[in-house]
Structures are given as structure tokens and as C-alpha cells.
Chain A
Amino acid sequence: MLSESVFCLLTEDLLIRILDRVNSDRKSLRLVCKEFHRVESTTRKTIRILRIEFLLGLLQKYCNIESLDLSVCPRIDDGAVSVLLSHGSVNWTRRIKRLVLSRATGLGYVGLEMLIRACPLLEAVDVSHCCGYGDREASALSCAVRLKELNMDKCLGVTDIGLAKIAVGCSKLESLSLKWCLEISDLGIDLLSKKCLELKFLDVSYLKVTSESLRSIASLLKLEVFIMVGCYLVDDVGLRFLEKGCPLLKAIDVSRCNCVSPSGLLSVISGHEGLEQMDARYCLSELSAPLINGLKNLNHLNIIRINGVRVSDFILQIIGTNCKSLVELGLSKCIGVTNMGIMQVVSGCGNLKTLDLTCCRSITDVAISTIANSCPNLACLKLESCDMVTEVGLYQLGLSCLMLEELDLTDCSGVNDIALKYISRCSELVRLKLGLCTNISDIGLAHIACNCTKLTELDLYRCVRIGDDGLAALATGCNKLTMLNLSYCNRMTDTGLKCISNLGELSDLELRAIPNITSIGIKAVAINCKRLANLDLKHCEKINDSGFWALAFYAQNLLQINMSYCNVSDHVLCLLMSNLKRLQDAKLVHLTNVTVQGLELALRSCCGRIKKVKLQSSLRFSISSEILETFNARGCKIRWD
């Protein structure tokens, strides 16, 4: 009561200032007092809806939001939109600038158009992974005349016609991603380049466009980032158009463009000496001498990824001596990466923050020590499958790279408990991957748990020596973990699972094929891990109905579940599918105790909101076609295994 009166005295703008300073967790801040709640409500700009039942209330409460995220909200369809828009005086749409509708597969073009027309200030829309979207939806999107940013990744039905609609309707577009819009051809890109002259970012990855498109794109004077991953029809002729065009180009990605050769890439480089980012993953087999010479001129290069290319010590030396400002170097799966090469490149590039050496199998501790000594700012190091790396190298890493946030040691058999002890000195670690490191045990994990308290992601896939003690240490130390993979750690039991249930932030948990865990452990997780969204229980055969019953009642935030090969009955499956209101993706293969009727009933019960189901292909013709049609009509995708 006292505190309330204190805040009563402060004016609203003072409160707003206070809230601005406290930028950690607005949710708990809201709970402090009425004033905080009120101010938080009026100043909140972004909102991400998890459940549709609260949508209307939230939108009325937060009338000043500028960004609305409906990507994880099931059952957003045309009807829901019309209700949202027709309800009383519609205030909330007035200030909306950003709409995130990724995977909103239930929304059709009618609803989309209503929504977009209702938001006059709309500047950014994300409709990525709405696989069913086509030209009509694109046409609806084109109503947003102020649109600056549009993500249409994997809108599989969009053709040139739809793109033309958008190009004409949204001429102020600055950022457009058309990844996997497979129907779009040169014609559409050509028109886009003529109509949307403000474009700064363009992603045409995996489109069946040819070099002709690059001729058109070259005319975009403001283009800064151009991504064309997997455009297998584009060749050097196309890249030569870019040499003269796009004067402001800063980043280019020609990864997986099979027809691109070093000379084509060289022409881009020679036209743009200010290039900051160059991606050429898996498109070149070798770097030619002229291209290496060309690299010498790129003094502003920040990021270079040449995964899969044959390199030599000389090439790495050239990069090291010329690209002084390099921040990220990707040499994943490069052939010919030696200790010498690494030493030469890192000695020049002291600012490196990200270094990807995945599958560079010949590098040893010497290289790791040099990296550690030369790059004190290193934040991300990927050493997957670098077998020869041992605790010796990692010792130096733990000593020097205190900024390290991400470390990938997957499949490094040289990593043992001592190595983990050294690594644990990197107290800033956020993501740690130790999958397939069969030599680590609870002791090593305890070191990590004690020191790396900021860890949010931990991968212990097939770390078969990890047991309940290690998990107990983890649960006390790394209580910010959100993602944890314990698949195939077959020594762990319900005890370990109970410890894990103390991780309140946990959202992704993989427990695949752990034979000893039962319903008791799962129940603990279901009750305590309130944020649990993704759960993989495939092949956990000891979990019975009571475990799934607990999930059905407690894990209300569950978004994805894999319960293939689990012993669940008809009844509980129905309960689970109907009770979990957020569930959007379920893998239901080989449920031996479930009958076809039970499965049908379960499917009917979640029909309105689920977006993806995986079913056994042998059931394809036994499940009633009416259900399948309804699923299809609702934008739900069925995968047959």
C-alpha cells in the first residue's frame, strides 16, 4: 500500500522513464503495482500472442502496440480476423507497424486483406512459411502501400503475378525476402526491379531465376544486401551484371550457386571494393589466383564464408594479411585447412568474433592455442568433428577467450572432463554443444554447471556417460537453460528428470529414446516447466498414460510434441490433443496402443488449431478422407512417414 502511494505521486512520464531504464523483465515489473501495470500497458510496443482466447482482451488493453506477433497463435483464420476487426471501436490497428504472421496458415486472403487494410501505418509484414499462400494473398499484401519490409519465405504458391501485385502496390519496399517462392521467375524479378527502387535487401534464394534477373537487379541503385542461395541457373554472366550495377552493395551471398565460378565472383568483387560480406558456400571448388588477388582489395570485408572450398595456406595468408577488419570467417568443410593456415589467418584478423572450423579435421591444439591467443574477442567457435582437439588446446581457449558465448564441440572425441573444466572458465558461454562427446561425464558437466551460469542452450546428445548427478548439478547451476538435448543419454532416470524440472525457463526438451524415464519424471517436468514448448519423447517406451495425462493438463504452453513409438492410449491421446490449446505440431507415428478410431477422434479434437501432423503412412487410407480434407482446408499439413 505504501509503495503504491509513492508511485501515485510520480507523473506518468516519470514512470515511463523508470520503466525505460528497467529493461530486463517487463512482465514481472507489471506485477509490482497498479501504476506500473497501467504505464506498462500504455507504453508496450510489441506483443506476441500465444493463445487466441486472450487476443481480444490483450489488444484492447495494449492499445498502443506497434508490433503484433501472431506467429505462434493457433486458430488465426479469416473468421477470427473479422471478429477482431468488427469488435466495437477498433483502436489497436491504428498504430500497428509490424505484423508477424509467420506460419499463420489458417489465415486466407480475405482475412489477410481485412487485417492489412485495417492497419494504415503498416510497414513490415512477415508471412514466411505460410506454404499455402499464393497470388491472392500476395494481392492482399499489396494493399499495404507503406510497406517497407516483407518476408514471404516459402509462400509456395506466389507466382510472378503475385510478386507484380506487391511490386506495384508496395513501391516503398526496402526489404524483401522471396526465399523458396519457387514459382517466381525472371519476369517477376524484372518487374520488381523496375517498380521497387528503394530496395536495400533482397533475398531470392532457391528461385529458378537466371542471369537475366541479375541484369534487372543490377539496376537497383540502393541495394545493399543481395542473397541468392541455391540459384542454380545463375552463372558468371549474371554476376558480371552486378559488377557495374548496385553501387551500394555491401553483402552478397552466392552460396550453392553451382554455375558460379571464381571469375564471376571476381567480377562482383572488382566492382564493389566496399563489400563487407561475401558468402560463397558450396559453390566453388577452388579459389582461383585472380580471385585471391581480388580479395586483397576488399579492405572493408567483415564476413567471409567459403565453406566447402579447397583452400591453401597461401589463401588463408592472403585473407589474414588483407582483410584486417574480418569479424567472421567460415571455413566449414573446407579441404586443406591446416594449423599453419589457421595461424596465418588469425594472426592478421585479431578482431575475429566468429570462426567456423566445422569438419576441418586436420587442425590440432596448436591451431586452437593460436586462435585463443590472437582473437581475444572471439564469441563463437565451431569445432565440430575436429577430432584432434584436446584439453591442451581448450585450456588456452578458457584462458584467453573470456568473451566466448558459443562453442560447438560436437563429435570431438578429444574432449573430456578436464577439457570441460578449462572451458568452464568461459563464464559468458550461452550455447554449448557437446553432442557425441562420449568421454565426458557428470564431473565435467558439474564444472560447466558451476561456472557457466548464463548457459541457455546445452546439447548433450548421446553423451552416454552423463547421469542423474550431472543433471542435478546442471539444474542448480544453469537455471537459465531454455534448450536442453538429452537424447540417448540412456543412463539418466526419473531422478535426473526431476532435477531438470527445476529449470523454470526450459522451453525445448529432447528426451528421445531414454529407456529409464517414466511417467513420474514427465509429470514433474509437466508441472514445473511452465514454458515448455517443444518436447520430444520418441521411443520413451516406459512413459504411460499417466505421464501423457499430466502433460495434457499441465503443459499448457506445449507447441510441438513428438510422441512416436510411445505407449499412449486412445483416451489419453484425445485428451492431450484436445486439451493442449497451443499445440501446433504433433508427431504421432507408431502409436501401438492407439486405434484408428482413437486417432481420428484425436485429430478431430485439435482440428481447428494444429498446423502440422506426422502420421504413419500405412494409415493413409484407413483414416477418413473427410478429416484429411478438413485438415487441408484449415491449412494443416499432414506428413506421412
Chain B
Amino acid sequence: MNPTGSLCANNWARSSSLVPPGNGLQTNLSLDPSSFFGVGIETPFKEINQPSPTQCVIPGESKKDVKITDQETSKLQDWDPSAMLNNLSFLEEKIHQLQDVVHMIVNKKFQPFEQPRELVTQEQQLITADLTSIIVQLISTAGTSSGIQPQNNCENKLFDHSIQNDVPNKCEMEQNHNMEEHEHKDEEDMEEGENLPPGSYEILQLEKEEILAPHTHFCTICGKGFKRDANLRMHMRGHGDEYKTPAALAKPHKETGSEPKLIKRYSCPYGGCKRNKDHKKFQPLKTILCVKNHYKRTHCDKSYTCSRCHTKKFSVIADLKTHEKHCGKDKWLCSCGTTFSRKDKLFGHIALFQGHTPAIPLEENKGLAEPPDRCDAKENSTMVGSMNFCFGSNPSSENGIDNMMDVKGNIDDPINYFSSLNFEGCNFGAFNEFSQPPFEDSDSSFSFLMSGSFNYAPKSGGESCSDNL
């Protein structure tokens, strides 16, 4: 064995150095004794095929498996021991096969010549792949007997996913946007009442600095934040060996799934907020992203201004992007500051609310007239904001329609109505000036709304309302 082996190696070396390599290679291949090389090649081939056979060649069994598990999810009581036995014997067989292969490799290692690198790594990969498939089988078999079936299933799926889904470096914006939409839904669900009994979940409260940090992924152990989940996973390895397993590195969801259930919910650090854990009617936030978006939208300055209309402001950049997508189209503007993409929507709005009128766009005007108007708009937007606090039933709703609804109740109140008239009367004096900003009346209607909201607060007597005002 040895001489041939060394000869062979020499041959290899020579063939690579010699000028006619094609010939040499051929002869080498033909000369190669099947004794060791054959095994070296054949077993891997078998092994390569094997993982799929375990799922496909023995379809009867594995499919039955799946079926059973499916049934199991509905009826956990039905446990089939014979099927279990089948599975176990199959696994035993597989383990034996694997054992043989490893033996072979071990034997080879004691041989004095070196194997080509590729072959070694190939074998290694095949073995790990086989092992994982065995583990999966084992777990699924275990699942048939105990109640953790759903998670198993889920794991399987996720496992496959993690292989395909190598955390592509997506555009952050898009991701954010999607998440945000998701979050909106979450919050809505919450409104309906998630009704978690108070003790059933763990309340986490991130600090303001943490929330405003530019990270989206946080270590659950030390709280360090990361921009990318992959980086977080790398970080997690430092917290212990359990995070070093390939499975743990492959997908982050596994650990939460396998952990015993204590649902995590989040509290907003802003005192007095309904999302703060000290609030009487505390409504927790579901995810960290919810916390971040909620905090920015509700308790932070709106620092992102739309580059098109220069009036709408946002605190969450994804909101700005969403708005900017439609901004050009929202050319139908009401005096209350609400914009509409369609004229009929605007007219429906105006028909509904007393005192609202369409605002005439300023484009045709000279630049001089613009600044004061911008001020108006600013005033208006902050106003809408304050109303959000006021009627805080849904702080996330950006367009003030719901709020307007509340205001309308006031307008019916004759006092408020007259107050707006009075305001117009006050304005009257200023009209001697020749150059008049053309938007005078929309201005008055803003203040008109303002008066409505001011009157509202004391009447309703909401605790948080008066605080915010």
C-alpha cells in the first residue's frame, strides 16, 4: 500500500510538473488502485446521495412521518410506537453507516502520505451534512412522542430557509418600511386588546438613548445594539458556547423557540404615555421596532421634512419615504392641512366638516409669499400633533381625519363657531396693507381649529390630554 501510495503521489507530482499532463493524468487514474481511492471516491458518492435518499429514497417512511406529525399537531394523544420504532431503527442504520465512513477516514489519517486538501474537506462536509440530517430525524422522531411538535416543524422550515437565505444586504429602507407596516398591524391588534394577563409576560423597558440609537438588533443579554442581525449573531458567540453551534449561528429565532415561554413585551420610557408600564391602562408594545417607531413618532421632534412639499414633517424616516412616494400626488389640500390624492376625496372631506375649505396651492405665486405660508403650515402640523396627544386614541395615525372627527363635535358648539368668526373680524384690521399674503383665510381656519382643540381639553378632562397641552 505504501509504495503504491507514494508512487502515486509521485506520479501526481510529476504529472503536474511534466509537460504532457493529459497523458500522465489518464495513466495515473487508470493505475490508481481502487483499494483506497475507490473507497475514497465511492463512499462520498454514496454519502452525497444518501442525504437525499433519507428524505426521498425512503419516502414512504419520511412522508408518513410528516403526515403523522401533521396529524399530531391536531391530536397529540395519538402516538404510534411502531412508527417510532421504525424511525429509530432507520436512524440506527444510518449512524452505523456514518460510523463506517468515519472509521475509514480515521484509518487513512494514520497513513503516512498526505491526502489532497479538497478531498478531506469534502468528506468533512459530507459527514456534517449527514449528521445534521440524522439530528433532524431524531428530533422529529422525538416530536412524535412529546408535545413540541410545532416548533420542530418550524425548525425544519427555518433550517431550510437559513440555508437559502444568507441574510442578503437588503436596502435598509425597504426593510424598515415593511417592518413598519407590520408594526402598524401589531398595534392595531393591540388596540383590539391582546389581553395578556399582567403577569404573563416580561416587561422590558429600553432607555431613551437605546431607543434612539441607530441600531435595530439588540443583544438580549448585554443590550448592545447592531445594525445587522448577522453581526449580532457573531456577537452572541462571546456569551457562551451555546451560541456557537451552527444552528444558533444560522438563525436567531431558534433560541427563542426552544426557550421556555415567557413572552416579552416592551414599555415606552416616556412617563405618562399609555405605552409606559406605569400607566393605568398600559398597553405594551410588541417588539423593539414597535418601541423605536412609537417613541420617535410620539415623543420626538419631527426632523425629517418632505423635500417636495416642505410642509409635512416626520420623525421616522420610513414615514417620510412613504409620504414622499405620494407627495406629488397629494395636490388637493384642505385648509386644515390635510392633503388628498384625489379631488373627490377632498370635496368629500369639505362636505363633511363645517368650516373647512380647499386651500389654493401657492405654486403660481412669487417666492415672496411662500415663507409666511410655510410658517402657517408648520403651525398647522404642530397643531395636528398636539391634537394627536389630545385625542390620543391612536397616536400613530398620521392624517388627522380621526382627530378632525373629534373637532367636529366642537364645531357644532355655537361658541366655538363664533370664536372663529371673531378671529376673522380681528384680521379685518390688517387688510389695509396692500401686499397681503394670499392665504389669509386658511390661516384663520387653522386658528379656528386651534380654538376648537383648546376648548376641548378642559371639557373632556383627560389626564394625559391636559399634560400634553
Is there a chain A Cβ closer than 8 Å to B436's Cβ? yes
Query: What are the residues of chain B within 8 A of A82 when measuring CB–CB?
Result: 432, 434
Check B357 against A169 for contact (C-beta < 8 Å). yes
Task: Note all chain A residues with C-beta closer than 8 A to B434.
Answer: 78-79, 82, 110
**CB-contacts of A152-181 with B (<8 A):** 160-162, 164-165, 168-169
- Tell me which residues across on chain A come within 8 A of B431, comparing CB atoms: 85, 113-114, 117-118
Enumerate chain B residues within 8 angstroms of A145, measured Cβ to Cβ: 421, 424
> Of all chain A residues, which has the CB nearest B352?
A194
Q: Does B110 make an interface contact (CB < 8 A)?
A: no
Q: Decide: A169 and B344 in contact? CB cutoff 8 A.
A: no
Contact of A143 among B356, B358, B435, B441 (CB under 8 A): B441
Interface size, A (range): 20 to 34
Q: Which of A85, A117, A164, A190 is B358 in contact with, Cβ under 8 Å?
A: A164
CA distance A301 to B355 in the complex (A): 40
Complex Cα gap A534–B435 (Å):
37
Task: List B residues at the A interface (Cβ < 8 Å).
Answer: 343-344, 347, 350-351, 355-358, 360, 421, 424, 427-428, 431-432, 434-436, 438, 440-441
15 A-B pairs, CB-CB below 8 angstroms?
A85-B431, A85-B432, A114-B432, A117-B428, A136-B438, A139-B357, A142-B441, A145-B421, A160-B343, A168-B357, A187-B343, A187-B344, A191-B351, A194-B351, A195-B351
Contacts of A165 in B (CB 8 A): 357-358, 360
Tell me, yes or no, whether A135 is within 8 Å of chain B by CB: yes
Asked if B347 and A139 make an inter-chain contact with CB atoms under 8 angstroms apart, the answer reads no
Chain A residues with CB under 8 A of B438: 109-110, 136, 139
B350 touches A164 (CB 8 A): yes
Cβ-based interface call for A24 (8 A): no
Q: Is A11 an interface residue (CB 8 A)?
A: no
In addition to A110-B435, A117-B431, A164-B358, 5 A-B residue pairs with Cβ atoms within 8 Å of each other are A109-B438, A139-B360, A164-B350, A169-B441, A191-B350
A86 at the interface (CB under 8 A from B): yes
How far in angstroms is the closest Cβ of chain A from B51?
67
Partner of A136, one of B344, B360, B424: B360
Specify the main secondary structure of chain B where it touches its partner.
Answer: helix
CB contacts (< 8 Å) of B351 on chain A: these are 190-191, 194-195
Nearest chain-B residue to A195 (Cβ)?
B351
Chain B residues near A136 (CB, 8 Å)? Answer: 360, 438
Residues of A contacting B358 in the complex (Cβ-Cβ under 8 angstroms)? 161, 164-165
B436 touches A142 (CB 8 A): no
Q: How many whole Å from B402's CB to the nearest CB in chain A?
A: 22
- Closest A residue by C-beta to B429: A117
Residues of A participating in the B interface, judged by any CB pair closer than 8 Å: 78-79, 82, 85-86, 109-110, 113-114, 117-118, 135-136, 139, 142-143, 145, 160-162, 164-165, 168-169, 187-188, 190-191, 194-195
Residue pairs across A and B with CB atoms within 8 Å: the count is 64
| Assembly CA distance A143 to B357 (angstroms) | 12
**Chain B residues closer than 8 Å to A161, beta-carbon distance:** 358, 360
Given the complex of chains A and B, what is the CA–CA distance between A474 and B345 in angstroms? 65
Q: Does A190 contact B347, Cβ atoms closer than 8 Å? A: yes
Residue of B nearest to A143 (CB): B441
Q: What CA separation (Å) do A82 and B343 show in the bound complex?
A: 35
Chain B hits for A190, CB < 8 A: 347, 351
- Distance (whole angstroms) from the CB of A139 to the closest CB of chain B: 6
Which single residue of chain A is at the shortest CB-CB distance from B332? A161
**What are the residues of chain B within 8 A of A117 when measuring CB–CB?**
427-428, 431
Q: Are A164 and B357 in contact (CB under 8 A)?
A: yes
B421 to chain A: closest CB distance in Å?
A: 8
> Which residues on B sit within 8 Å (CB–CB) of A195?
351
* A164 touching B347, Cβ below 8 Å: yes
- Residues in B whose Cβ lies below 8 Å from that of A143: 424, 441
What's the nearest-Cβ distance from chain A to residue B349, in Å?
A: 10
Residue among A135, A168, A188 with max Cβ neighbours from chain B (10 Å): A168
Find the B residue at minimum CB distance from A165: B357
Q: How far is the CB of A335 from chain B (nearest CB, A)?
A: 43
A98 to chain B, nearest CB (A): 20
Q: Is the CB of B347 within 8 A of A191?
A: yes
CB of B293 to closest CB in A, whole Å: 35
Closest 6 pairs between A and B when the two form their complex, measured CB to CB: A168-B357, A161-B358, A82-B434, A194-B351, A187-B347, A117-B431
Chain B nearest Cβ from A484, distance in angstroms: 45
How many Å from the CB of B163 to the closest CB on chain A?
56
Which A residue sits closest to B434, measured CB to CB?
A82
B432 near A142 with CB under 8 A, answer no
Provide the bound-state CA to CA distance between A142 and B350, in Å. Answer: 15
Give the chain A neighbours of B343 by CB distance below 8 A. 160, 187
Evaluate contact between A160 and B347: CB separation under 8 angstroms.
yes
Residue with the greatest number of chain B CB neighbours at <10 A, chosen from A145, A161, A165, A169: A161
CB distance from B384 to the nearest CB of A (A): 20
Are B436 and A168 within 8 A (Cβ)?
no
For B436, what are the chain A residues with a Cβ–Cβ distance below 8 Å? 110, 113-114
**Complex Cα–Cα for A110 and B356 (A):** 21
Q: Closest residue of chain A to B343, judged by CB?
A: A187
Residue among A79, A118, A143, A169 with the highest chain B CB neighbour number at 10 A: A143
Cross-chain contact B441 with A139 (CB below 8 angstroms): yes
Q: In this complex, what residue of B is CB-closest to A187?
A: B347
Q: Distance in Å from the Cβ of B422 to the closest Cβ of chain A?
A: 12
Among residues of B, the one whose C-beta sits closest to the C-beta of A117 is B431
Q: Is the CB of B355 within 8 A of A168?
A: yes
- Shortest distance from the beta carbon of A241 to any chain B beta carbon, whole Å: 18
